[in-house]
Structure 1
Amino acid sequence: MTALPLKWGTSPVPWVAAWSPEASREAVYVRTETIGGNRLRFMCDGIDTPGEGRPVFKIMHLERSRHVVAHRLCQICCEPLPASSICMNQGEREGFHPLINDGLPMCEPCASLSIRHCPGLKRAAAAGRLHVFRASDWDLAPVILGPVPEAKGGCRRVNELLAKERGPVFGYVKLVLRRFSTISPDAIAEAA
């Protein structure tokens, strides 16, 4: 396994982030996985090379993101999460509950590190859009994939695979927080 936590220069890189060899999505395939007690068809990236090339912070590696959720690991350092972990979003909700898309659970030290180093989190916090939660319970919400035109950023290979499959194909897993409290981004940034 690659040494964790991953770094790009002096900046931490989430274990779930894609790296340049993985970002093309040309090696994707579909396989059945069990997550949350359900057997579902998931899209897989086909390449697993964390730490090789350059990090692509805006793309999550599908299998690594599902792995951390399924095994209750920190998305940054990949260590087991404490009973209460930190999740972030920019106001997304599922009914009355926060919906976590890419701010998957983190241990508090990694959440603090992320807020201090990540330009996107810094911008969201400065604009008042970053919501930080201490969470102890969540439901899984697998995301069904659909074709995306290449002109809008879709991948030809992914679209071909989706066209061949019978039934839904899932990509990554969102979380719907059930037991949580809200905390300020500043309080997490200062914790460490």
Structure 2
Amino acid sequence: MSAHLRTGADNSGVPAVPYITTWSAEDRTAGAVTLRPDRCGIAYLDETPHDRDREGALWLRTGLARGRGRPRFGAVHPARQRRAMRLMLCQVCAGPADRDERGVLWLLGDDHDDWPGWPEEMGATHPPVCRPCALASLRLCPYLRRTHTAVRVARPRLGGVHGMLYGPPSGPGEVRPQPLGPALVPYGDSLIPWVLASQLAMQLRDCTPDHLDPDARHPRSTP
């Protein structure tokens, strides 16, 4: 949804540039991907403990210069996306995501045909939202105006990562791992050591539809 938010100010107080958007000054920092010493996954040559999450996934390195340069709408900043997911922050304003007795608020594209019971068990890579930002997104995003689903999620669970999946070198003379393409890899999967993560995925469980009535009285939630 962030790809379609306008850059001008909004009188609702909703940020014009979503928190998880990457800025042009936040170029990827140095760090060539290589094989781990045991050849059972990927690593950085100069890897530090901060390069991996607690589940062992290697993360894409990016700069931290929010607000500098131009916003790259549609490009998600890995570190801020990850923080928003782990702390249940709104992907637009970075305040607490909206929560009520039914659960945390998520705003999704409408993909009911993907599987029976969608979005139950969905691996969502967009963080949740607060209610004011959700309503503003419906006004400003052409895609969401055409089709969207708002849901409350009672039991969200960190499910895995989305990123570039690598494989072993293609031949005996090769030493660099081979990029295979983007993939969503669950935590605990044997492929976790082979993925360069760029987004955290949340498994949505116990979902209830929310109609987001713009006229209803509903104060911004607090932590």
TM-score, normalising length: structure 1:
0.67
Distance 2:65 2:8 in 1: 17
Q: 1:171 to 1:59 in 2, by over 3 A?
A: same
Unaligned runs of 5+ in 1: 1-6, 148-160
Q: In proportion to residue count, which structure has more helix?
A: 1
Per the alignment, in what secondary structure is the counterpart of residue 142 of structure 1? strand
Question: Which residue in 1 is equivalent to 2:145?
Answer: 125
Q: 1:97-126: CA deviations, max 9, x gaps? A: 4235454201111211222223xxx33432
Q: 1:105 to 1:70 in 2, by over 3 A?
A: same
Q: 1:61-98: CA deviations, max 9, x gaps? A: 01100011111211112123343332122217577442
2:53 to 24, 33, 42: 33
Q: 1:137-187: CA deviations, max 9, x gaps? A: 21223124136xxxxxxxxxxxxx9659x7332221122210221134xx3
Q: In proportion to residue count, which structure has more strand?
A: 1
Question: Which residue in 2 is equivalent to 1:179?
Answer: 206
Number of corresponding residues: 159
Question: Which residue in 2 is equivalent to 1:79?
Answer: 95
Distance 1:21 1:66 in 2: 19
Q: 1:111 to 1:49 in 2, by over 3 A?
A: same
Per the alignment, in what secondary structure is the counterpart of residue 39 of structure 1? coil
Distance 2:123 2:17 in 1: 19
CA contact (8 A) 1:74 1:81 kept: yes
Distance 1:33 1:173 in 2: 10
Question: Which residue in 2 is equivalent to 1:167?
Answer: 194
1:110 partnered with 2:133: yes
CA contact (8 A) 2:88 2:127 kept: no
How far off its partner does 1:188 sit? 5.1
Q: 1:188 to 1:145 in 2, by over 3 A?
A: farther
How far off its partner does 1:15 sit? 0.3
1:137 partnered with 2:155: yes
Structure 1 counterpart of 2:161, one-letter code: P
Distance 2:21 2:7 in 1: 12
Unaligned runs of 5+ in 2: 1-5, 11-15, 32-43, 45-50, 167-175, 180-192, 219-223
1:10 partnered with 2:28: no
Question: Which residue in 1 is equivalent to 2:171?
Answer: none
Question: Which residue in 2 is equivalent to 1:153?
Answer: none
Question: Which residue in 2 is equivalent to 1:42?
Answer: 59
Structure 2 counterpart of 1:8, one-letter code: T
Instruction: Flag the structure with larger Rg.
Output: 2
Q: 1:44 to 1:188 in 2, by over 3 A?
A: farther
Per the alignment, in what secondary structure is the counterpart of residue 80 of structure 1? coil
CA contact (8 A) 1:100 1:175 kept: yes
Per the alignment, in what secondary structure is the counterpart of residue 60 of structure 2? strand
CA RMSD for the aligned pairs?
3.0
